[in-house]
Amino acid sequence: MEIKKWNYKGFEIEESPKPSEKKFQYFLRVMKEGKKTCTYCIWIEDATPDKFEEIINSERESWITWVKEKIDQGILNNLALKVSAFGKEEIKLSEISEKVDF
């Protein structure tokens, strides 16, 4: 899948999925003047690889809205939005022990 880029309030956002057999991961990297400011990640643990494209097509706009809200609020931390059967949970990536590759 291609990397998508767009701009918002002086930031460049670069989107890309990370294929994985274990969970769905979609990264939105926020940059300013060519330097990475932070990364937002979407995690969906119960998604199967054959559904990844469908998930991106149906949920991408809500993820963009989430990123814009974080930028508007001045929250420029590395965050994950974990989506499960129990709902959505925001996690600061600095507080987890699992290694996350950006």
Q: What is the model's pLDDT at position 77?
A: 94
**DSSP of 11-66:** EEEEEEEE--SS-EEEEEEEEETTEEEEEEEEEETT--GGGHHHHHHHHHHHHHHH
Q: What is the model's pLDDT at position 94?
A: 79
Q: Are 70 and 13 in contact (CB under 8 A)?
A: no
Q: What is the model's pLDDT at position 45?
A: 81
> Rounded to whole angstroms, how far apart are CA atoms 78 and 21?
23
Q: What is the model's pLDDT at position 66?
A: 97
Structure tokens at 100: 């996350």
Grouped pLDDT means (10 residues each) for the chain, 102 residues? 88 90 89 95 87 92 97 96 90 71 44
